[in-house]
C-alpha cells in the first residue's frame, strides 16, 4: 500500500510570511508584528499555486483550521484562502494559543548570539551553549510546557482523523503559525522529544505536510516530497 495515497488525512503546516524581525533573525513570540510587503507576496504566491479547488490544499477536504492568535498568522490565514472559492469563515477555524509561537520570555526581540552571550555572563551555560530545544527560555516557556500544549493539539487532530484513515470524508487539517512552534510540532508528531537533534528548516510563507504511513494512525510520518495534483 502506497504511503503517498492522498486519501489518507494530512496536516498542512503553514508558516506566516516575512516580518521585519524575521528578516534580521530576532526571536518573535508575543510581539504582534504584521507581514512586510514581501511577506504578503510570499503567502499570495504560495496560495496561488497550492490552495483552491483541486489543488494541494483543497477547501473541500479541510475539516479544521487552527491558527495562532498573532496578527502575522491571522493575516497569513486570510491571504492563504483569498484565491479559494470558499470563504475562510465558512469552515471551522479555531484561534488558539496551543499553536502560538514559543513564548520567549526574557529573550523576546533578541538575536541568538545576544541570548547566548547574556546567559554566559550570568554563568548559566558553562561550556555548553544555550539550546532552546533543551533549555527553554528564561521568563518564558520550557520545552516541557511547549510539548504539553502541542501534544494536546495532536490528540485533537487524531480524534478528527481517526475515522477517516481511508478517505471516509474530509479530514485534512491546516495549522497556520510560526517557525519554531511548527518545527516543534513536527518533532512531537513523530513522537520525538524536542531536544532530539532533527535539523529542520521552514521558510516564511512555506507549507509543510504531515500524514500517516500505510493509513495507520499509529504510524505518523512526514513527506520529504509530494507530487502535486494534476490540473485539469
Binding region for substrate: 28-29, 72, 101-104
Which of 61, 49, 56 has its CA nearest to residue 86?
Answer: 61
Burial of 132: CB neighbours in 10 Å, binned 0-12, 13-18, 19+: buried
Gap between the Cα atoms of 59 and 50, Å rounded = 11
**CA 54/CA 227 separation, integer angstroms:** 13
**DSSP result, 80-126:** HTTTSSS-GGGS-EEE-GGGSPP--GGGTT--HHHHHHHHHHTT--T
User: Can you say whether the dihedral through the CA atoms of 130, 131, 134, 138 is positive or negative?
Assistant: positive
Dihedral of the CA atoms 56, 223, 186, 100 (nearest 10)?
-10
Only one residue has cell 504511513, namely 213
CB–CB of 146/102 below 8 Å? yes
Measured over the CA atoms of residue 35, residue 37, residue 43 and residue 48, the dihedral's sign is positive
As annotated, the active-site residues are 16, 101
**Burial class, 14, CB count within 10 angstroms (exposed 0-12 / middle 13-18 / buried 19+):** buried
Amino acid at each position: 500500500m502506497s504511503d503517498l495515497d492522498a486519501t489518507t488525512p494530512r496536516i498542512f503546516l503553514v508558516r506566516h510570511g516575512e516580518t521585519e524581525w524575521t528578516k534580521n533573525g530576532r526571536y518573535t513570540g508575543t510581539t504582534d508584528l504584521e507581514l512586510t510587503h514581501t511577506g504578503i507576496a510570499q503567502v499570495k504566491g504560495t496560495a496561488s499555486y497550492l490552495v483552491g479547488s483541486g489543488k494541494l490544499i483543497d477547501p473541500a477536504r479541510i475539516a479544521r483550521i487552527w491558527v495562532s492568535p498573532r496578527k502575522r498568522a491571522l493575516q497569513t490565514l486570510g491571504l492563504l484562502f483569498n484565491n479559494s472559492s470558499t470563504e475562510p469563515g465558512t469552515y471551522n477555524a479555531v484561534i488558539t494559543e496551543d499553536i502560538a509561537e514559543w513564548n520567549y520570555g526574557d529573550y523576546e526581540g533578541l538575536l541568538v548570539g545576544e541570548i547566548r552571550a547574556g546567559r554566559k555572563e550570568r554563568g548559566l551555560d558553562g561550556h555548553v551553549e544555550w539550546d532552546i530545544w533543551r533549555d527553554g527560555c528564561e521568563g518564558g516557556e520550557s520545552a516541557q510546557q511547549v510539548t504539553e500544549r502541542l501534544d494536546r493539539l495532536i490528540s485533537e487532530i487524531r480524534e478528527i482523523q481517526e475515522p477517516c484513515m481511508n478517505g471516509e470524508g474530509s479530514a485534512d487539517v491546516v495549522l497556520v503559525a510560526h517557525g519554531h512552534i511548527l518545527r516543534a510540532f513536527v518533532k512531537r508528531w513523530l513522537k520525538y522529544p524536542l531536544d532530539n537533534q532533527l535539523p529542520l528548516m521552514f521558510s516564511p510563507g512555506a507549507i509543510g505536510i504531515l500524514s500517516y504511513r500505510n493509513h495507520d494512525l499509529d504510524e505518523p510520518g512526514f513527506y520529504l516530497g509530494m507530487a502535486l495534483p494534476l490540473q485539469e
